[in-house]
Amino acid sequence: MLLAACSSPSQRFDQTALEYGFNKIEIEGSGFTHTAFENGRLGTAQTLHVYLGGDGTPWIGGFIIASDPTPRKPVALKLMAMDGFPSLFLGRPCYHGQAKRQPCNSDYWTSERYSKDVIDTMAEALSKVMSDYGHTDLRLIGFSGGGSLAMLLAQRFPETRAIVTVAGNLDIESWVDLHGYDPLDGSLNPKSIPALPAAIRQYHLAGGKDKNIPAALIRDALINQPDIQFVLFEDFTHGCCWEEIWNALLACIEQQCKWAGARQP
Protein backbone atom coordinates (compact mmCIF):
# COMPACT_ATOMS: atom_id res chain seq x y z
CA MET A 1 0.00 0.00 0.00
CA LEU A 2 2.88 2.34 0.82
CA LEU A 3 4.52 1.67 -2.54
CA ALA A 4 1.24 2.33 -4.35
CA ALA A 5 0.84 5.64 -2.54
CA CYS A 6 4.32 6.76 -3.64
CA SER A 7 4.04 5.66 -7.26
CA SER A 8 3.09 7.98 -10.13
CA PRO A 9 -0.11 7.69 -12.17
CA SER A 10 1.95 6.26 -15.04
CA GLN A 11 3.47 3.61 -12.81
CA ARG A 12 0.09 2.64 -11.39
CA PHE A 13 -1.36 2.41 -14.89
CA ASP A 14 1.55 0.17 -15.94
CA GLN A 15 0.95 -2.07 -12.94
CA THR A 16 -2.73 -2.42 -13.77
CA ALA A 17 -1.89 -3.31 -17.37
CA LEU A 18 0.60 -5.91 -16.13
CA GLU A 19 -2.04 -7.44 -13.87
CA TYR A 20 -4.32 -7.78 -16.90
CA GLY A 21 -1.55 -9.62 -18.74
CA PHE A 22 -0.93 -6.89 -21.31
CA ASN A 23 2.39 -6.20 -23.01
CA LYS A 24 3.78 -2.67 -22.88
CA ILE A 25 5.27 -1.34 -26.12
CA GLU A 26 6.44 2.00 -27.49
CA ILE A 27 5.43 3.26 -30.93
CA GLU A 28 6.87 6.23 -32.76
CA GLY A 29 4.31 8.71 -34.07
CA SER A 30 4.96 11.95 -35.93
CA GLY A 31 7.54 13.43 -33.57
CA PHE A 32 6.17 11.81 -30.40
CA THR A 33 6.71 8.47 -28.71
CA HIS A 34 3.51 6.66 -27.69
CA THR A 35 3.21 4.20 -24.86
CA ALA A 36 0.78 1.43 -25.78
CA PHE A 37 -0.44 -1.86 -24.36
CA GLU A 38 -1.51 -4.92 -26.34
CA ASN A 39 -3.19 -8.16 -25.34
CA GLY A 40 -0.80 -10.57 -27.06
CA ARG A 41 -3.09 -11.17 -30.05
CA LEU A 42 -1.84 -8.60 -32.55
CA GLY A 43 -1.66 -10.05 -36.04
CA THR A 44 -3.91 -13.02 -35.31
CA ALA A 45 -6.97 -11.63 -37.16
CA GLN A 46 -7.78 -8.97 -39.72
CA THR A 47 -9.76 -6.95 -37.19
CA LEU A 48 -8.05 -4.71 -34.63
CA HIS A 49 -9.80 -3.14 -31.65
CA VAL A 50 -8.14 0.13 -30.59
CA TYR A 51 -8.97 1.47 -27.13
CA LEU A 52 -8.53 5.17 -26.40
CA GLY A 53 -8.49 6.39 -22.81
CA GLY A 54 -9.94 9.48 -21.19
CA ASP A 55 -8.24 12.80 -20.54
CA GLY A 56 -6.95 11.61 -17.18
CA THR A 57 -5.96 14.48 -14.89
CA PRO A 58 -4.75 17.47 -16.92
CA TRP A 59 -5.20 19.77 -13.91
CA ILE A 60 -4.77 19.29 -10.16
CA GLY A 61 -7.50 21.04 -8.23
CA GLY A 62 -8.60 22.89 -11.34
CA PHE A 63 -5.73 25.39 -11.40
CA ILE A 64 -2.37 23.55 -11.19
CA ILE A 65 -1.21 21.83 -14.38
CA ALA A 66 -0.47 18.17 -13.69
CA SER A 67 3.04 16.88 -14.31
CA ASP A 68 1.60 13.46 -15.27
CA PRO A 69 -1.91 13.52 -16.80
CA THR A 70 -2.16 9.72 -17.14
CA PRO A 71 -5.64 8.43 -16.15
CA ARG A 72 -5.96 7.51 -12.49
CA LYS A 73 -9.00 5.33 -13.25
CA PRO A 74 -8.20 3.23 -16.35
CA VAL A 75 -11.75 2.50 -17.49
CA ALA A 76 -10.77 1.81 -21.11
CA LEU A 77 -8.04 -0.57 -19.99
CA LYS A 78 -10.53 -2.47 -17.85
CA LEU A 79 -12.87 -2.85 -20.82
CA MET A 80 -10.04 -4.02 -23.04
CA ALA A 81 -9.26 -6.77 -20.52
CA MET A 82 -12.66 -8.26 -21.38
CA ASP A 83 -12.00 -8.25 -25.13
CA GLY A 84 -10.90 -11.43 -26.92
CA PHE A 85 -10.10 -9.69 -30.22
CA PRO A 86 -6.62 -8.43 -31.06
CA SER A 87 -6.65 -5.24 -29.01
CA LEU A 88 -4.39 -2.23 -28.51
CA PHE A 89 -4.61 0.53 -25.93
CA LEU A 90 -2.99 3.47 -27.72
CA GLY A 91 -1.68 6.10 -25.33
CA ARG A 92 -1.78 9.79 -26.13
CA PRO A 93 1.36 11.79 -26.76
CA CYS A 94 2.97 12.96 -23.51
CA TYR A 95 0.95 10.55 -21.35
CA HIS A 96 2.20 7.37 -19.64
CA GLY A 97 5.58 8.68 -18.54
CA GLN A 98 6.33 10.57 -21.76
CA ALA A 99 5.59 14.10 -20.46
CA LYS A 100 9.24 15.17 -20.20
CA ARG A 101 10.21 13.97 -23.68
CA GLN A 102 10.53 16.51 -26.46
CA PRO A 103 8.45 17.98 -28.03
CA CYS A 104 6.01 17.55 -25.14
CA ASN A 105 4.63 20.48 -23.22
CA SER A 106 1.53 20.82 -21.07
CA ASP A 107 -0.55 22.26 -23.93
CA TYR A 108 -0.85 18.71 -25.26
CA TRP A 109 -2.82 17.58 -22.21
CA THR A 110 -4.65 20.83 -21.51
CA SER A 111 -5.87 23.23 -24.23
CA GLU A 112 -4.58 21.20 -27.21
CA ARG A 113 -5.49 17.72 -25.98
CA TYR A 114 -7.51 17.11 -29.19
CA SER A 115 -5.37 19.19 -31.52
CA LYS A 116 -4.30 18.36 -35.06
CA ASP A 117 -0.80 17.56 -33.74
CA VAL A 118 -2.28 15.00 -31.34
CA ILE A 119 -4.45 13.38 -34.02
CA ASP A 120 -1.58 13.39 -36.53
CA THR A 121 0.82 11.56 -34.24
CA MET A 122 -1.78 9.06 -33.00
CA ALA A 123 -2.78 8.31 -36.59
CA GLU A 124 0.87 7.76 -37.54
CA ALA A 125 1.42 5.39 -34.62
CA LEU A 126 -1.77 3.45 -35.38
CA SER A 127 -0.89 3.20 -39.08
CA LYS A 128 2.41 1.57 -38.15
CA VAL A 129 0.71 -1.03 -35.98
CA MET A 130 -1.81 -1.89 -38.68
CA SER A 131 0.90 -2.17 -41.31
CA ASP A 132 3.31 -4.16 -39.14
CA TYR A 133 0.67 -6.70 -38.06
CA GLY A 134 -1.47 -6.83 -41.21
CA HIS A 135 -4.74 -5.55 -39.76
CA THR A 136 -7.19 -4.38 -42.40
CA ASP A 137 -10.36 -3.79 -40.35
CA LEU A 138 -10.42 -1.23 -37.56
CA ARG A 139 -12.80 -0.70 -34.66
CA LEU A 140 -12.18 2.42 -32.58
CA ILE A 141 -13.35 2.37 -28.96
CA GLY A 142 -13.04 5.52 -26.85
CA PHE A 143 -13.95 6.31 -23.26
CA SER A 144 -14.74 9.91 -22.26
CA GLY A 145 -12.20 12.12 -24.06
CA GLY A 146 -11.10 9.01 -25.91
CA GLY A 147 -14.48 9.20 -27.63
CA SER A 148 -13.38 12.53 -29.14
CA LEU A 149 -10.20 10.89 -30.37
CA ALA A 150 -12.13 7.96 -31.86
CA MET A 151 -14.33 10.27 -33.92
CA LEU A 152 -11.40 12.40 -35.07
CA LEU A 153 -9.21 9.41 -35.95
CA ALA A 154 -11.99 7.70 -37.90
CA GLN A 155 -11.68 10.42 -40.55
CA ARG A 156 -8.11 9.30 -41.22
CA PHE A 157 -8.74 5.57 -41.61
CA PRO A 158 -10.88 4.18 -44.42
CA GLU A 159 -10.35 0.81 -42.70
CA THR A 160 -12.68 1.91 -39.89
CA ARG A 161 -15.65 -0.45 -39.64
CA ALA A 162 -17.08 0.59 -36.26
CA ILE A 163 -16.84 3.30 -33.62
CA VAL A 164 -17.86 2.87 -30.01
CA THR A 165 -17.86 5.83 -27.65
CA VAL A 166 -18.47 5.31 -23.95
CA ALA A 167 -19.54 8.47 -22.10
CA GLY A 168 -17.79 10.28 -24.96
CA ASN A 169 -16.93 13.97 -24.93
CA LEU A 170 -18.29 14.61 -28.42
CA ASP A 171 -18.90 18.37 -28.19
CA ILE A 172 -16.00 19.98 -26.38
CA GLU A 173 -17.38 23.51 -26.70
CA SER A 174 -20.63 22.64 -24.96
CA TRP A 175 -18.70 20.63 -22.38
CA VAL A 176 -16.43 23.50 -21.34
CA ASP A 177 -19.44 25.84 -21.23
CA LEU A 178 -21.31 23.39 -19.02
CA HIS A 179 -18.52 23.23 -16.45
CA GLY A 180 -17.19 26.78 -16.79
CA TYR A 181 -13.76 25.56 -17.95
CA ASP A 182 -11.35 27.55 -20.09
CA PRO A 183 -11.89 26.94 -23.83
CA LEU A 184 -9.79 24.19 -25.37
CA ASP A 185 -8.18 26.55 -27.86
CA GLY A 186 -6.26 24.62 -30.48
CA SER A 187 -8.39 21.49 -30.11
CA LEU A 188 -10.68 20.02 -32.76
CA ASN A 189 -14.35 19.56 -31.88
CA PRO A 190 -15.82 16.18 -32.94
CA LYS A 191 -19.27 17.74 -33.31
CA SER A 192 -17.92 19.89 -36.15
CA ILE A 193 -16.48 17.12 -38.31
CA PRO A 194 -18.26 16.11 -41.54
CA ALA A 195 -20.60 13.16 -41.39
CA LEU A 196 -18.64 9.91 -41.32
CA PRO A 197 -19.40 7.28 -43.97
CA ALA A 198 -22.66 5.46 -43.34
CA ALA A 199 -20.77 2.16 -43.66
CA ILE A 200 -19.12 2.85 -40.28
CA ARG A 201 -21.33 1.42 -37.56
CA GLN A 202 -21.54 3.91 -34.71
CA TYR A 203 -22.48 2.96 -31.14
CA HIS A 204 -22.59 5.85 -28.67
CA LEU A 205 -23.22 4.89 -25.04
CA ALA A 206 -24.34 7.40 -22.41
CA GLY A 207 -25.02 7.21 -18.68
CA GLY A 208 -28.24 8.64 -17.33
CA LYS A 209 -26.48 9.69 -14.10
CA ASP A 210 -23.33 11.04 -15.77
CA LYS A 211 -22.73 14.55 -14.43
CA ASN A 212 -19.42 14.99 -16.26
CA ILE A 213 -20.70 14.38 -19.79
CA PRO A 214 -24.50 14.31 -19.60
CA ALA A 215 -26.41 12.10 -22.00
CA ALA A 216 -28.12 15.11 -23.61
CA LEU A 217 -24.74 16.58 -24.57
CA ILE A 218 -23.73 13.33 -26.29
CA ARG A 219 -27.09 13.01 -28.04
CA ASP A 220 -27.04 16.57 -29.34
CA ALA A 221 -23.45 16.23 -30.59
CA LEU A 222 -24.47 13.44 -32.98
CA ILE A 223 -27.16 15.29 -34.88
CA ASN A 224 -25.11 15.36 -38.10
CA GLN A 225 -23.92 11.75 -38.02
CA PRO A 226 -25.76 9.15 -40.15
CA ASP A 227 -27.59 6.09 -38.84
CA ILE A 228 -25.97 6.00 -35.40
CA GLN A 229 -27.07 4.00 -32.37
CA PHE A 230 -27.39 6.16 -29.26
CA VAL A 231 -27.86 3.95 -26.21
CA LEU A 232 -28.79 5.37 -22.80
CA PHE A 233 -28.12 3.38 -19.62
CA GLU A 234 -30.25 5.16 -17.05
CA ASP A 235 -28.37 4.07 -13.91
CA PHE A 236 -24.79 4.43 -15.20
CA THR A 237 -22.51 7.29 -14.17
CA HIS A 238 -19.45 8.53 -16.01
CA GLY A 239 -17.13 5.79 -14.79
CA CYS A 240 -19.62 3.10 -13.75
CA CYS A 241 -20.72 0.45 -14.70
CA TRP A 242 -19.71 -0.14 -18.30
CA GLU A 243 -18.09 -3.53 -17.75
CA GLU A 244 -21.55 -4.93 -16.89
CA ILE A 245 -22.70 -4.61 -20.51
CA TRP A 246 -19.34 -4.89 -22.28
CA ASN A 247 -19.46 -8.54 -23.33
CA ALA A 248 -22.91 -8.04 -24.78
CA LEU A 249 -21.78 -4.87 -26.56
CA LEU A 250 -18.78 -6.63 -28.13
CA ALA A 251 -21.04 -9.43 -29.33
CA CYS A 252 -23.46 -6.88 -30.78
CA ILE A 253 -20.68 -5.15 -32.71
CA GLU A 254 -19.50 -8.45 -34.11
CA GLN A 255 -23.01 -9.43 -35.19
CA GLN A 256 -23.75 -5.92 -36.50
CA CYS A 257 -26.89 -5.98 -34.39
CA LYS A 258 -29.28 -3.26 -33.38
CA TRP A 259 -28.93 -2.75 -29.62
CA ALA A 260 -32.28 -2.99 -27.84
CA GLY A 261 -33.31 0.51 -26.86
CA ALA A 262 -30.93 2.22 -29.27
CA ARG A 263 -32.31 5.27 -31.00
CA GLN A 264 -31.39 8.15 -33.22
CA PRO A 265 -30.43 11.39 -31.43
Examine residue 102 and state whether it is found in any structural domain, yes or no. Answer: yes
SS3 127: helix
Give residue-wise pLDDT tens across range 166-203.
999 999 999 999 999 999 999 999 999 999 999 999 99
Examine residue 157 and state whether it is found in any structural domain, yes or no. Answer: yes
- From the number of C-beta atoms within 10 Å of its C-beta (0-12, 13-18, 19+), residue 1 rates as exposed
The pTM (predicted TM-score) of the whole model is 0.96
Examine residue 215 and state whether it is found in any structural domain, yes or no. Answer: yes
Give residue-wise pLDDT tens across range 73-129.
999 999 999 999 999 999 999 999 999 999 999 999 999 999 999 999 999 999 999
Examine residue 260 and state whether it is found in any structural domain, yes or no. Answer: no
Examine residue 191 and state whether it is found in any structural domain, yes or no. Answer: yes
Number of domains in the chain: 1
Q: What is the pLDDT of residue 257?
A: 86
Q: What is the pLDDT of residue 73?
A: 93
Flag whether pLDDT at 245 surpasses 80: yes
Domain limits for position 206: 2-255
Examine residue 261 and state whether it is found in any structural domain, yes or no. Answer: no
In 3D space, the residue among 212, 213, 218, 230 whose CA is nearest the CA of residue 190 turns out to be: 218
Residue 26's H or E segment, with its range, is strand 23-28
CATH of the domain at 204: 3.40.50.1820
Examine residue 108 and state whether it is found in any structural domain, yes or no. Answer: yes
pLDDT band at 3 (very low <50, low <70, confident <90, very high): very low
What integer best gives the mean pLDDT of the chain?
A: 94
Examine residue 262 and state whether it is found in any structural domain, yes or no. Answer: no
SS3 192: helix
Flag whether pLDDT at 1 surpasses 90: no
